């Protein structure tokens, strides 16, 4: 199946919504309703603070709000489903009432995903790529929610080549989605920067990103403030937004469609420059004799 990353692709989402991917890069704002996320833990642990942060992200240019209730950093304390749901469901319900913004739920639990879509979420974002609770694929199929399937290297034996491991893992995830009845138009993929990948592996994924288009799906990427960005720059998490924006521009030129970020404004500007350059490049190609 052929796929051209900059051509329009209509991503079908829950509640009859959709987003056009391809011609313009989109921003997903990270709203962690947690006390222990790696760079912003505790800032939005209160529901009112999380809603206010999400509304502020919309003002700064976010296209999607990603609401999560459990930290995914490697040494984070696990959270049970009841606690996760208590954190995020009031935030999702409030945002669904107060805004028309697209809402994503960051969870690997099928029941949390179902409740979040019922509360107003349009997208399910699974950091375990459907391979921890495969029933989450059935939730997407039954509700029509958009589905983001992320690659992870945690808790398994990886293929030695970092790109081949993407095909190995995500190929299985796509099979799970297809068997559950999820439509192609509902799916985007995420290469999982930072999830059981060292600095060299993350940099190789950036450098070889165009190879991933063989999977014939749009890509969401999340490099924001990740450890490999700090390894390159020597900066602490809260000081990594400029370098994050550099990866945003590089990955946009390589064909990524959606960018999951902490700082919306600086990445909006990086995307604006990358998209302007791509438009100029395409314009020159179109006018060649």
- Measured at the alpha carbon of residue 206, what is the angle toward residues 204 and 211, in degrees to the nearest 5? 85
CB 25 within 8 A of CB 276: no
Give the closest residue to 125 by CA, choosing from 92, 157, 98, 100: 92
The enclosing H or E element of 123 equals strand 123-126
Q: What is the distance between the alpha carbons of residues 129 and 281, in angstroms, rounded to a whole number?
A: 34
Residue 281 contacts by C-beta under 8 Å, 6 or more apart in sequence? none
The enclosing H or E element of 146 equals strand 146-150
- What's the farthest any 2 CA atoms get from each other in the chain? 63
Residue 229 CB-half CA count within 13 A:
21
pLDDT at 34: 84
Q: What is the distance between the alpha carbons of residues 223 and 268, in angstroms, rounded to a whole number?
A: 14
Q: What is the distance between the alpha carbons of residues 233 and 256, in angstroms, rounded to a whole number?
A: 23
Q: What is the distance between the alpha carbons of residues 50 and 52, in angstroms, rounded to a whole number?
A: 5
Structure tokens, 171: 């190929």
| Fold topology of 9-287 | TIM Barrel (3.20.20)
DSSP codes of every residue in 189-217: EE--TTSS--HHHHHHHHHTGGGGGGG-S
Task: Point out the residues that are catalytic.
Answer: 226, 260
Task: Map out the domains of the chain as residue ranges.
Answer: 9-287
Between helix 47-60 and helix 81-98 the angle, nearest 10°, is 50
Strand partners, 261: 29
pLDDT at 284: 72
Structure tokens, 69: 């209730």
Q: What is the distance between the alpha carbons of residues 13 and 185, in angstroms, rounded to a whole number?
A: 9
Report pTM: 0.94
- Based on the number of CB atoms within 10 Å of its own CB, is 238 exposed (0-12), middle (13-18) or buried (19 or more)? exposed
pLDDT at 39: 52
pLDDT at 180: 98
The enclosing H or E element of 220 equals strand 220-221
Full pLDDT tens readout for the chain, 289 residues = 568 999 999 999 999 999 999 999 999 999 999 875 555 445 666 889 899 999 999 999 999 999 999 987 666 678 899 999 999 999 999 999 999 999 999 999 999 999 999 999 999 999 999 999 999 999 999 999 999 999 999 999 999 999 999 999 999 999 999 999 999 999 999 999 999 999 999 999 999 999 999 999 999 999 999 999 999 999 999 999 999 999 999 999 999 999 999 999 999 999 999 999 999 998 776 665 5
């Amino acid at each position: 199946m052929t796929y051209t990353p900059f051509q329009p692709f209509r991503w079908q989402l829950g509640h009859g919504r959709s987003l056009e991917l391809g011609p313009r890069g989109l921003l997903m704002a990270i709203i962690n309703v947690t006390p222990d996320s790696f760079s912003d833990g505790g800032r939005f642990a209160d529901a009112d603070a999380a809603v206010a942060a999400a509304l502020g992200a919309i003002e700064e240019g976010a296209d999607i709000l990603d609401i999560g209730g459990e930290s995914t950093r490697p040494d984070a304390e696990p959270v049970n489903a009841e606690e996760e749901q208590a954190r995020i469901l009031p935030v999702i319900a409030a945002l669904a009432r107060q805004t028309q913004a697209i809402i994503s739920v960051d969870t690997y639990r099928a029941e949390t995903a179902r409740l979040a879509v019922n509360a107003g979420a349009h997208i399910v974002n699974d950091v375990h790529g459907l391979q921890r609770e495969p029933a989450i694929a059935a939730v997407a199929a039954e509700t029509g929610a958009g589905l983001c399937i992320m690659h992870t290297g945690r808790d398994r034996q990886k293929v030695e080549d970092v790109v081949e491991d993407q095909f190995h893992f995500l190929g299985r995830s796509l099979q799970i989605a297809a068997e559950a009845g999820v439509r192609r138009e509902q799916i985007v993929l995420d290469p999982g920067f930072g999830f059981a990948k060292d600095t060299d592996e993350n940099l190789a994924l950036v450098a070889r990103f165009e190879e991933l288009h063989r999977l014939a799906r749009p890509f969401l990427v999340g490099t924001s403030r990740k450890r490999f960005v700090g390894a390159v720059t020597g900066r602490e998490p809260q000081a990594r937004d400029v370098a994050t924006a550099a990866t945003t521009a590089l990955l946009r030129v390589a064909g990524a469609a959606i960018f999951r970020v902490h700082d919306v404004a600086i990445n909006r500007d990086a995307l604006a420059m990358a998209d302007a350059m791509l438009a100029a490049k395409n314009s020159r190609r179109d006018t060649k004799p």
